[in-house]
Amino acid sequence: METLSYRHKAQERAAGSKSLAIIGVVASGNLEVLVERLLPDTECQVDINTAAEGFGAVWEAVVADFVERRSPGGLKLSINDGGARPDTVALRLAQAVRLIEEEDR
């Protein structure tokens, strides 16, 4: 197991009013993302628990692109990773933001 954590400035607050959302499953080649609206509007944090060690540089690149492309201000994302490929990680992160963007009802 390896634990990684990245904190970034975000351009904009994530839309919507839901306080949390979860997507994906912890399985081989897959991952689970829990997203919570816990941080100031200009901050974004991504915490990663991964089964595959030694991929820090790739995670850093995936997370940096995610923050730039999706502006997830105010969100803390927690990842349980079962050794997913970077493209799967990027997709799940995008999906997590889309889920929390929905209005709470």
Partner 1 sequence: MKSWNAQKTTLAERLADGRRYASGKTIEVVDLPNFLEAVIRPADRVCLEGDNQKQADVLAAALADVDPAKIHDLHMVQSGVVLPEHLDVFEKGIARRLDYSYSGPQAARVARLLFGGKIELGAVHTYLELFARYFVDLTPNVALIAAVCADRDGNLYTGPNTEDTPTVVEATTFKSGIVVAQVAEIVDRLPRVDIPGDQVHFVVEAKKPFYVEPLFTRDPAAITEAQVLTAMLAIKGLYAPYGIRRLNHGIGFSTAAIELLLPTYGEKLGLKGSVCTHWALNPHPALIPAIESGWVEQIHSFGSEVGMDDYIRARSDIYFTGPDGSLRSNRAFCQVAGLYACDMFIGSTLQIDLQGNSSTVTTSRIAGFGGAPNMGSDARGRRHPSAPWLQAGKEADPDGPPPLRRGRKLVVQIGETFGDKNVPLFVEKLDALTLAEKLNLELAPLMIYADDVTHIVTEEGIANLLLCRDKDEREQAIRGVAGYTDVGRGRDGKMVRRLRERGVICRPEDLGIDPLDADRSLLAARSIKDLVRWSGGLYAPPSKFRNW
Should residue 25 be labelled a site residue for partner 1 when binding is judged by CB under 8 A? no
Q: What are phi and psi of 50, to 5 degrees?
A: -125, 145
* Interface pick for partner 1 out of 38, 58, 82, 104 (rule CB under 8 A): 58
What number of other Cβ atoms are within 10 A of residue 70's Cβ?
21
Should residue 90 be labelled a site residue for partner 1 when binding is judged by CB under 8 A? yes
Given the rule CB under 8 A, which of 4-12, 37-45, 57-65, 72-80 is the region that contacts partner 1?
57-65
Q: What is the identity of the amino acid at 74?
A: G
- For β-strands 20-24 and 2-9, DSSP reports them as unpaired
Contacts with partner 1, residue ranges (CB under 8 A): 57-58, 61-62, 69-70, 85-88, 90-91, 94-95, 98-99
